[in-house]
Structure 1
C-alpha cells in the first residue's frame, strides 16, 4: 500500500494576536474546513513582546500577520528582515507604501494574483474597503471625474476602536453615537484617495454607534453635476460590471451589488455582523443618488479580509464566505 504524502501546511504567525483583529483571524482560521491548509504558530504569552522570540517565530513562519499599531508594525517588518517570512500587515502603516500590494482582491483584474505572489501585502482599512469599492469603478468609467469634490460619511460598530472603546460601550452608559476625526485627517484617507483614483482627498466624516459590529459607508452624489448626467441605473450597472457574483476561479464573490427592488428606503448598519461579505447599493431620486457599502467592520473590514488574503498568499482555493 502506497501512502499519499500530503502537502505541508502554510505556517502562519500572528504578531499581535491578542487584539480584536488577531483573535478574529485565528477564529476564522480554526473554522476552515478540514484538512485545514494553514497551521497557526503560537508564541508563549509571556514572550509576545520579546524581539528574539518574535524573530524566531518569523523564521519558522511562511507568513507573518501583523495586528499591531502602526509604529510597531514598521518595527516588526524591520525586525523580520532576513527571516524569510512574508508579511500581511493589518495596520495602516504600509497601505500606500512602495513595494506593498494592496490586499483588496476586488480592486481590479489581476489583483488576486498580485496578492498571491507578493512578499508584502497590506490589508485594507474597513472604511476604505467600502469607499474604494464604490468610487473606483465610477472614476474609471469616467462617470465621476477624478477632480470631483467627494464627501463620504460612515458609521461603524464600536468593536473597531480597540479595547478602551469596547469597554466604554460595553457599559450601559456607553455613548449612543459619536462623530470623530473632525480634524479631517483620518488615517484611511491616503488609501481611499490613492486606490479610488481621486485627484484630491475626499471630505470624510466617520462616526461610531452603540452597537458592536457593522458598518455603512455612504457617498452622496448630485447626478446632474456629473458628466453625461448618469442615472441611478447607470451607476448600478457600472458597479455590477465591476463586481460579478463569482470570481474568475468560480468562488463566491465577497462583494454583492444589490438590485433596485432589494434596496428599500432604510438600511441597518449591523445586519452583516459576523459576515465576510459586503453589499453595495445605489439609492436615488430626482437627480440625486446615495451610494452605500454595508459590511462588518471586523469581517470584510478586517479579519475576514485578512483570512482571504492569507489563503491567496498560500495558493489555496477560497472557501465559502463566513456568514
Structure 2
C-alpha cells in the first residue's frame, strides 16, 4: 500500500511547489481535500489524520492548529512554517547539518522544515564552530539576496503587479529581529544572536547568502584553506547529500554566485573566499529559496522519513 501524503495548504507558494515536485511519482499517493470542502474544518482534520505524512504549508498559527487536529492519529508531520523550528520534540529537517541528522529525520514523527535564509549560514558556520576554528560567541553577520517568491504569495503578487516599477534591490529586516534569527543561532551553534540583514531582488526565485568574517581578533586566526578544509570534510562522505563544496580558489568574481544557478533543484553549493594577509573571509551559499530552502527540502525529508532515500 502506497504511503498517503497530505499537503495542508497546497495552494500556497510552497504547497504548489511541493505538489509539482510530487507529480508523476508512483511510489506515494497524494490525497487532497475536494475544492468544495476546502474550508471545512472537519474535512481538514479527516485528511490530516488519514495521511501517513502531512506536510504543513501554512502560517504559524494554522500549522499549530493542524498538529492539534492530528492528535494521537499517528500521522507524521513535516512543518514548513516557522512555528516549530526551535521547539522541543521537533527534529530539524536539514539532512546534511551533521552526520547523524538524516537518521534523526528518518526516525522522527515531527520534522520542522528549515527556513530558506538560515540554511546557507548554518551550512557554513556549523562545521567551523564544531572544528574549533570559530568560537561559539563569534560576532556573526550575514546578508544575502533572494527572489521575491521568498515572501510568499502576497509579495509575488505585489512584485508581478508592479512590473518594471518593482524595486531591483530591497533590503528589509532593518529592525534586526528577523524571525529566522533563533533558528540560525541554535543550529549554527552560536551563543550570541547573529545580525541578519536580507535583501529581496527583482527576480522570482533563487538566493545567495554571505557570512563575512573579520578573523583578526581571534587568538588563532584560521587560514582560508583551513576554513575550506573543515567545511569540505563535514560534507564528504554524506550519503545522498545535495550539498557540494566548491574548490578553494582565489578569484575576484565568478558566475557561480548567480542566485538563480540552482533554480528548480534541491542542490546547494558552498564557497569559501579569503584574504589571509587581511585575516578576512566570506562564506557563501548558493541555492534555490523554493528548492533546498523550502519545497525541495520538504520532499527530501519526506523521502528520508519513508525510507526512500537516506
TM-score in same-fold range (> 0.5): yes
- 1:145 partnered with 2:135: yes
Conserved 8 A contact 1:143-1:227: no
Conserved 8 A contact 1:55-1:83: no
What's the CA shift for 1:84? 2.1
Q: Partner of 1:222 in structure 2?
A: 214
Structure 2: tracts of 5 or more residues without a match: none
What's the CA shift for 1:297? 0.2
Q: Partner of 2:122 in structure 1?
A: 132
Range moving further from structure 2, 259-268 or 105-114: 259-268
RMSD after superposition: 1.5
Q: Partner of 1:274 in structure 2?
A: 264
- 1:116 partnered with 2:109: no
Structure 1: tracts of 5 or more residues without a match: 1-7, 319-323
Q: Residues 195 and 263 (structure 1 numbering): CA distance in 2 closer, same or farther, change over 3 Å?
A: farther
Task: State the TM-score, normalizing by the size of structure 1.
Answer: 0.91
Q: Partner of 1:321 in structure 2?
A: none
Range moving further from structure 2, 150-159 or 44-53: 44-53
Secondary structure of 1:105's match? coil
From 261, 283, 294, the counterpart of 1:302: 294
- 1:179 partnered with 2:167: no
Deviations 1:94-114 (A, max 9, x none): 000000000011111221111
- 1:53 partnered with 2:39: no
What's the CA shift for 1:262? 8.8
From 226, 229, 239, the counterpart of 1:234: 226
- 1:247 partnered with 2:238: yes
Conserved 8 A contact 1:101-1:120: yes
What's the CA shift for 1:224? 2.4
What's the CA shift for 1:80? 1.3
For 2:250 and 2:15, locate their aligned partners in 1 and report how far apart those are by CA, in whole Å.
34
Q: Residues 289 and 97 (structure 1 numbering): CA distance in 2 closer, same or farther, change over 3 Å?
A: same
Conserved 8 A contact 1:258-1:280: yes
What's the CA shift for 1:50? 1.8
Q: Residues 315 and 264 (structure 1 numbering): CA distance in 2 closer, same or farther, change over 3 Å?
A: farther
Map 1:148-227 to 2 at 5 A: 148-170=138-160, 171-227=163-219
Would you say how many aligned residue pairs link Structure 1 and Structure 2? 304
What's the CA shift for 1:225? 2.5
